[in-house]
């Protein structure tokens, strides 16, 4: 029994227990850092997913806007062609050039 008490309190044993305690503390610290890094990574992944979805939405909107611009450019070209062909002749008696354009816009669903 005395032998065990002497060995348990020996410098090597005390140093070993101290080293083990320090190792556990470092391990816990590293584990906390890893957990924080994983949480941050998950947050950044969620942000990236949101950004990717925003890009998809913006691309879709851009395509729609480009299609609308092309449609309106087509209408403009049609009107320009009509202007050079018919000089905006009125389609009925007493219809002004402005009335003619307003009628065309309504027919094309623009006004």
84 in a domain, yes or no? Answer: yes
- The range of the structural domain enclosing residue 63 comes to 21-107
Count of domains for the chain: 1
pLDDT tens figures, 40-79: 999 999 999 999 999 999 999 999 999 999 999 999 998 8
Residues 6+ apart with CB under 8 A from 95: 103
Task: Please say whether the beta carbons of 21 and 13 come within 8 A.
Answer: no
pLDDT tens figures, 23-42: 999 999 999 999 999 999 99
Residues 6+ apart with CB under 8 A from 91: 100, 103
Return the number of other C-beta atoms located less than 10 Å from residue 13's C-beta: 12
83 in a domain, yes or no? Answer: yes
CA distance to 53, 58, 83, 108, per residue, from 44 (Å): 14, 21, 57, 47
- Residue 90 reports pLDDT greater than 50: no
15 in a domain, yes or no? Answer: no
């Amino acid at each position: 029994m005395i032998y065990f008490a002497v060995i348990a309190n020996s410098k090597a044993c005390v140093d070993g227990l101290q080293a083990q305690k320090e190792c556990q503390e470092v391990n816990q610290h590293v584990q906390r850092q890893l957990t924080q890094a994983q949480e941050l990574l998950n947050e950044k992944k969620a942000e990236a997913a949101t950004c990717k979805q925003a890009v998809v939405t913006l691309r879709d909107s851009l395509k729609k806007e480009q299609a609308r611009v092309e449609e309106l450019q087509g209408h403009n070209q049609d009107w320009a062609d009509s202007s050079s062909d018919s000089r905006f002749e009125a389609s009925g008696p007493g219809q002004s050039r402005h009335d003619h354009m307003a009628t065309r816009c309504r027919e094309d669903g623009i006004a």
